[in-house]
Amino acid sequence: MSDKIHGFIYEKDSDAIVTITMDMDGPVNAMNGQYREAMAVIPGMLEAELESEQGLKGVVLASAKGTFFAGGDLKELSSVPKGAEEGQFRMIEDKIKAPLRRLEKLPVPVVAAINGAALGGGFEICLACNHRIVANHSRAQIGLPEVTLGLLPGGGGVVRSIHLLGLEKALPFLLEGKRMSPQQALDVGFVDALTDMVEKLVPAAKAWIKANPEACVQPWDMKGHKIPGGDVWNPKVVNTLAVAPAVNFRKTRGLLPAPERILAVAADTVTVDFESALRIESRGLAYLITTPQAKNIITSSFFQLNKINSGASRPADAEPSKVSKVGILGAGMMGQGIAFAAARAGIEAVLIDTTDEAAEKGKAYSARLMDKQIKAGRKTEADKSALLGRIKASADYASLQGCDLIVEAVFENVDLKAKVTVEAQQYLSEGGVFATNTSTLPINLLSEVAERPENYIGIHFFSPVEKMPLIEIICGQQTSDSTLAKAFDFARQLRKTPIVVNDSLGFFTSRVFGTFMDEGARLLVEGLDPVLIDALGKQVGMPVGPLAVQDEVSQELTRKVSETHRQLGVFCSLGDNSCNTEVSEKLIAEFGRGGRHHGGGYYEYPEGAPKKIWPKLYELYHKPEVEMPHQDIKDRILFRQVVESLKCLQEGVLRSVADGNVGSLLGIGAPTWTGGFLQVVNTYEYNGKTGPEAFADRCDELAGRYGERFAAPEIVRQKLEAGESFA
């Protein structure tokens, strides 16, 4: 017998075992309307089988897709408006949880045959089964990553995982959204068995059912069941719950509601009965679905990130390409990182510097990185030898002969970049691409020395290259679509996310990042305590405060870049970052404070002790009588960057909203809760208003108090008049 019910193939074999193979419309199985329609029918059909002549011996859940089940329908979830929490609660309870509860209460074994990724809602279905078998291959992943989207596992994931593993063991997977390989999931206890082939899954599931006909009661439904590790009366559990909120706050700074709500549901799970815990979990998800944080994160970190990585910014008609040999000019911090990233991707890399010794020193960086991975057990000596074999260190430009791509990564000096470009470009292969790793200098200017300006492009890496996931690709006026496509493909070859922007001084990331440091300098000059400035910068969600990050970038670099811009006559077009430049120049000229790597800047860095504010800074700038609302300080730090991002979109520097959001998150460190510096405008709430109107009102206030740099750009007014958001 075989039927297809709302995308579920229902088959009963001669042994009275029903296999339900999920084959829903679309590329993946998802917890959407079609799923809910199927699950409204399937449990009843299985219950009816119990009364049939043949009866029912067991149930196998399988998938016809490459993945087992992809989880919730994020498009549906992100469209739920505020005020719809009650309706969401009822839907979760009646159409998600109730069918799963009926499934796991069947008096026959139910087995999940997991052929690929089972994440989020997909794994919650598996948790409602008595036994879980996974195909042991790289495409199979297990986990509950809802927290990374601003949500919680609301299909029973929080409650069942705690009842299965215990609070202490389950919390890291719930709070961090860790994804596990099949073997890791087996070791933890989330799954019960592995197969070496997908084809063996269903037979293995049926064999287990036949061998274990009585294994049909879930642990939490057994008489006398106790949560592993204890409930709320266990001192160890009490201690975990006492410490967890503080640990969580250090990570989220109170800006992300999902981890807090997960902790609350977890605490209730070890306090109340199983059914009550499920209802509490449903309320938690219903609340989180409508929060601006969840909408922001889902929009940018899922939809827009996937859109970019799938090639939305890449010329569609250009042929796919791969770099087989890349040349890197300059074996300093950036060059050595690019060489490692290329060699890690299997690309032959030629690392050029002024002497063989300097080039070899750059190559040694890759050796050190591999040594760390070997020590951690992630790589072997053979892996190290193979990677280093792909890097050639040399002072001879002729070694670049035949490169598909040459990346110039020398210091931000127009004359120096021109010199190495002229010397190296002759060795490019036919149709090869020449790229500059500049972070601020205009591509149109740098490409003036290029023999083929149509083959010249900016490829801006971020430091440290081996860790940072973003590449900013910058197109000059003459850059061809073919060149852009090749640069894009190279970024994806390195497994990095490429955003594409148009040429201007500072492009997008450096231009916006500069306003972050400048606003910190302005707050300092106005008399605020430097400790307070950096603390509130972190409270708004930036990784570190603006003064601390300026020390890492270095005042010396700021001075040199500003000097270059002045020489080019383009200093002011980067935006009004003059305060930061003036402070940097003063600290260097009068006190020799060039930044952390120059002995200290805003901070002192005593050996073996935490950094601390340079005491002289208080004498120079601090005015104890100056008071400013903390919310204004936080908004100044945030809004300055948002306004500059909007200007980049308005001026055409940014080609898309997605590029702006993903670029700000991965390259600048935009707070996760914002969803990026453009997305935050869509959900901003102020004085009872939401979206661009609320944002414009707050901009007006800040501009009135602190200057026109906070005025909302015209593009915000245009969106307001059109009734549109930034999408």
Q: Are 46 and 76 found together in one domain?
A: yes
Q: Is residue 644 part of a domain?
A: no
Q: Are residues 203 and 338 in the same domain?
A: no
Q: Tell me: do 480 and 513 sit in the same domain.
A: no
* Spatial CB neighbours of 496, under 8 Å, sequence gap ≥ 6: 341, 468, 469, 470, 471
In this structure, the answer to whether residues 30 and 144 fall within a common structural domain is yes
The residue segments making up the domain with residue 575 are: 509-532+543-627
- Domain holding 606: CATH number? 1.10.1040.50
**One domain, residues 449 and 514:** no
Token digits of residue 710: 């906070």
Total of domains in the chain: 3
Structural domain includes residue 516: yes
In a domain, 300, yes or no: no
Q: pLDDT over 70 for what percent of the chain?
A: 98
Residues 35 and 171 in one domain: yes
**3-class SS string, 567-631:** HHCCHHHHCCCHHHHHHHHHHHHHHCCCEHHHCECCEECCCCCCCEECCHHHHHHCCCCCCCCHH
Quick check: is 646 in a domain? no
Residue 724 has a CB neighbour count (10 Å cut-off) of 12
φ/ψ of 118, rounded to 5, equals -125, 95
State the pLDDT at residue 572.
Answer: 41
User: Which residue, 290, 317, 340, sits at the end of a domain?
Assistant: 290
Residues 523 and 440 in one domain: no
pLDDT at residue 320 greater than cutoff 90: yes
| pLDDT for residue 574 | 45
Whether 311 is covered by a domain: the verdict is: no
In tens, the pLDDT along 671-703 reads 999 999 999 999 999 999 999 999 999 999 999
Count Cα atoms within 13 angstroms, Cβ side, for 463. 13
627, 653, 674 - which closes a domain: 627
**Is the domain of 422 the same as that of 522?**
no
Query: Has residue 690 been placed in a domain?
Result: no
Asked whether residue 634 is domain-assigned, the answer is no
State the pLDDT confidence band at 571, using cuts at 50, 70 and 90: very low
CATH of the domain at 390: 3.40.50.720
pLDDT at 573 over 60: no
3 DSSP β-pair partners: 10
Indicate if 39 and 158 belong to the same structural domain.
Answer: yes
Extract the tokens encoding 314: 């890449």
> Does 381 lie in the same domain as 465?
yes
CATH for 117: 3.90.226.10
CA 204 to chain centre: 37
Q: Cα separation of 33 and 48, whole Å?
A: 24
What's residue 578's pLDDT?
84
| pLDDT one-digit tens code per residue, 63-108 | 999 999 998 999 999 999 999 999 999 999 999 999 999 999 999 9
Answer yes or no: are the C-beta atoms of 117 and 140 closer than 8 Å.
yes
- Give the alpha-carbon dihedral of 461, 463, 467, 472, to 10 degrees: -20
The position carrying tokens 């990095």 is 496
CA 382 – CA 166 distance, rounded (Å):
40
Predicted local confidence at residue 570, as pLDDT? 53
| Secondary structure of residue 403 in the 3-state scheme | strand
Q: What is the mean pLDDT of residues 610-626?
A: 97
Q: 284 with 333, same domain?
A: no
Query: In whole numbers, what is the pLDDT of the chain averaged over residues?
Result: 96
Query: Which band of pLDDT confidence, cut at 50, 70 and 90, is reported for residue 3?
Result: confident
What pTM value is reported for the model? 0.94
CA distance 96 to 36: 7
Backbone angles phi, psi at 663, to 5 degrees: -65, -40
Exposure string of 643-674, with b = 16+ CB inside 10 Å and e = fewer, is bbbbbbbeeebbbbbbbbbbbbbbbbbbbbbb
Give residue-wise pLDDT tens across range 119-158.
999 999 999 999 999 999 999 999 999 999 999 999 999 9
Residues 332 and 396 placed together within one structural domain of the fold: yes
Per residue in 521-535, pLDDT (tens digit) is 999 999 999 999 999
Asked if residue 719 belongs to a domain, the reply is no
